[in-house]
Amino acid sequence: MPFRKKIIIFVVLALAGFLILLYSSFIFRIETDQTLYQYEINILLYVSISLFIVVLVLVGRLMKAFGKARQSLQDLQKFKLAVDNASDCISITDKDGIILYVNHGMEKITGFKPEEVLGKKIGSKDLWGGNMSLEFYQKLWTAVKTKKQKFSVEFNNHRKNGEEFVAAVSISPILDEAGEVKFFVSIDRDITVAKRIDLVKTEFVSLASHQLRTPLTSVKWHAEMLLAGDAGSLSKDQRDFAQEIYNSNERMIDLVDSLLDVSRLDLGTLKVKGLPTNISESIKDLIKDIRPLMTKKKVKLIEKYDQPLPIIELDKRLFFVIIQNLLTNAIKYSKTGGEVVLEIKCEGTANVLIKVADKGCGIPIKDQARVFDKLFRADNARKIEPDGNGLGLYIVNSIVKQCQGKFWFETKENVGSTFYISLPIKLSKK
């Protein structure tokens, strides 16, 4: 029989026994000295019954509350068991980063037992942290403690035995009713193996792209020679076929170049060579390159440059890559006969702002957060231009970061997009 039922039966029996005892004592008095009147007995009866009902109701409520508390306790135990045994490392710290709780996952990842870390500062060198730069930790604390924001990042950490590992960490501040930080919850996942596999894949892409570049260049030369009539004059069909070979090969070269850039960026082997550059001159060469696309789409390019533009410290090839990607996109995703604006102006004495605006298809709200992701293409863009690879904006974003600049955009579906790049005139030494 459940515990709750047992208690109810016990209380009811005890109460009933008590009332029977009370009642019989009155009967006894009536039988012995006749001093008790009938109305007294009735009142006593009513009071006893009312009391009995009240006690019954109270006991029922008490049992209900007791049942709920027991259920909550069971839920809490289940929840604790789940957190304790989760495969990711879960830790709770106070607002100064002192460890209050860690689960078993932490021991699996770092090698430290919970009792070795409780009461110590999370992320310290004598535990599994302390390998990142001072600025990095400052940024982290500003985000979670001052701005009270979630912070997700990859950490290079070390295990108890000194072995290095990479963890994907997400730290969330937990606030009290007054909005003040009460404590922090951190979830760490060991991504060392995934990172290694990723590296091998990137190295493979890099190698394959290098190997592909040579035959593609050879195809390009020979197609050019055929088109130039070096092997004799061509019939119309022969010329059309050779032109098709040339165009497809150009698309392939673009893709291979993008893959090479992506692998270099991912491997960290793409070095920024900042040399004093006249951007007006560089832009002229670049526009020459994309003129055929503009003609094909009948798009008009409006150029607005501050005069004179400063000489800026720039990696000319990388600058070419970013502007070419933005202009090509603006043209590709514009309507035929549309208009694209390229604006370059000084922002004080420290930065140059580059703006590429179009009145094309825009980026749907649901896709805006993903357009800097590798290989991502929005559905509306796929319909307009089936031949994209979704690598351009990833490359631009990574290069701009390496050039110590900022990259952002404004867009509205079916209205248009404006992409902005702010670049420093002088690169700071790292």
What is the spatial distance between Cα 108 and Cα 423, in angstroms, rounded to a whole number?
A: 44
- By the rule CB under 6 A, 202 interacts with ligand ADP: no
Least separation in angstroms between residue 190's CB and ligand ADP is 31
Contact string 302-341 vs ligand ADP (x = CB under 6 A)? -----------------------x---xx--x--------
Q: Give the up-direction half-sphere exposure of residue 350: CA atoms within 13 A in the CB hemisphere.
A: 4
Q: Which residue has the tokens 């909005």?
A: 179
Determine, following the binding rule CB under 6 A, whether residue 263 of this chain makes contact with ligand ADP. Answer: no
Shortest spacing between CB 362 and ligand ADP, in angstroms = 6
Q: Closest CB to ligand ADP among 187 and 330?
A: 330
Q: Which is nearer to ligand ADP, 183 or 394 (CB)?
A: 394
Amino acid at 163: E
> Does residue 184 contact residue 171 with C-beta atoms inside 8 Å?
yes
Sign, CA torsion 385/387/389/393: negative
User: Cβ closer to ligand ADP: 184 or 333?
Assistant: 333
Based on CB atoms, which residue is closest to ligand ADP, 167 or 371? 371
Selected from 103, 110, 206, 417, the binder of ligand ADP by CB under 6 A is 417
Of 99 and 326, which CB lies nearer to ligand ADP in the complex structure? 326
Which residue from 415, 298, 283 is spatially nearest to 358, judged by alpha carbons?
415
- Taking the C-alpha atoms of residue 120 and residue 102, their distance in angstroms, rounded to an integer, is 11
Counting contacts by CB under 6 A, is residue 360 touching ligand ADP?
yes
In the bound complex, what is the minimum distance in angstroms from residue 294's beta carbon to ligand ADP?
Answer: 14
Q: Which two tokens stand for residue 278?
A: 């006249």
> Measured from the CB atom, is 256 or 363 closer to ligand ADP?
363
CA gap 52, 15 in Å, rounded: 7
Task: Give the span between the Cα atoms of 7 and 338, in whole angstroms.
Answer: 83
Residues in the chain: 430
CB 415 to ligand ADP: min, Å: 10
Token pair of 304 as six digits: 């607005």
| Shortest spacing between CB 239 and ligand ADP, in angstroms | 29
Q: State the binding string over 366-395 for ligand ADP (x if CB under 6 A, else -).
A: -----x----xxx--x------xxxxxxx-
Residue with tokens 């929840």: 79
Q: Please report how close the Cβ of residue 193 comes to ligand ADP at its closest, in angstroms.
A: 28
Q: How far is the CB of 179 from ligand ADP (least distance, A)?
A: 37
Nearer CB in complex with ligand ADP: 88/367: 367
Residue 362 interacts with ligand ADP (CB under 6 A)? yes
Question: Which one of 159-167, 264-272, 341-349, 357-365 is the stretch in contact with ligand ADP (CB under 6 A)?
Answer: 357-365
Binding residues with ligand ADP: total (CB under 6 A): 22
- To ligand ADP, the closest distance from the beta carbon of 428 in angstroms equals 28
> Structure tokens of 131?
């390998």
Residue 407 sits in the site that holds ligand ADP (CB under 6 A): no
DSSP conformational letter for 393: H
Tell whether residue 424 is a contact of ligand ADP (CB under 6 A): no
d(CA 200, CA 319): 28
Do 396 and 407 touch, CB atoms closer than 8 A? Answer: yes
The most distant pair of C-alpha atoms in the chain lies apart, rounded to whole Å, by 144
Q: What are phi and psi of 169, to 5 degrees?
A: -120, 140
Q: How far apart are CA 291 and CA 284, in angstroms?
A: 11
**Closer to ligand ADP by Cβ: residue 157 or 329:** 329
Question: Where does 180-304 have alpha helices with state H?
Answer: 192-227, 236-267, 279-297
Q: Which stretch binds ligand ADP (CB under 6 A): 129-137, 209-217, 353-361, 421-429?
A: 353-361
CB of 205 to ligand ADP, least distance (A): 16
Of 275, 389, 403, give the one whose Cα is nearest residue 325.
389
d(CA 392, CA 374): 8
Q: CB of residue 254 vs ligand ADP: minimum separation in angstroms?
A: 9
361 is an interface residue for ligand ADP by CB under 6 A: yes
Nearer of residues 84 and 410 to ligand ADP, judged by Cβ: 410
Shortest spacing between CB 301 and ligand ADP, in angstroms? 14
Which of these, 281, 272, 267, lies nearest to 405 by C-alpha position?
Answer: 272
Q: How many CB atoms lie within 10 A of CB 162?
A: 7
Which residues are near ligand ADP by CB under 6 A? 325, 329-330, 333, 358, 360-363, 371, 376-378, 381, 388-394, 417
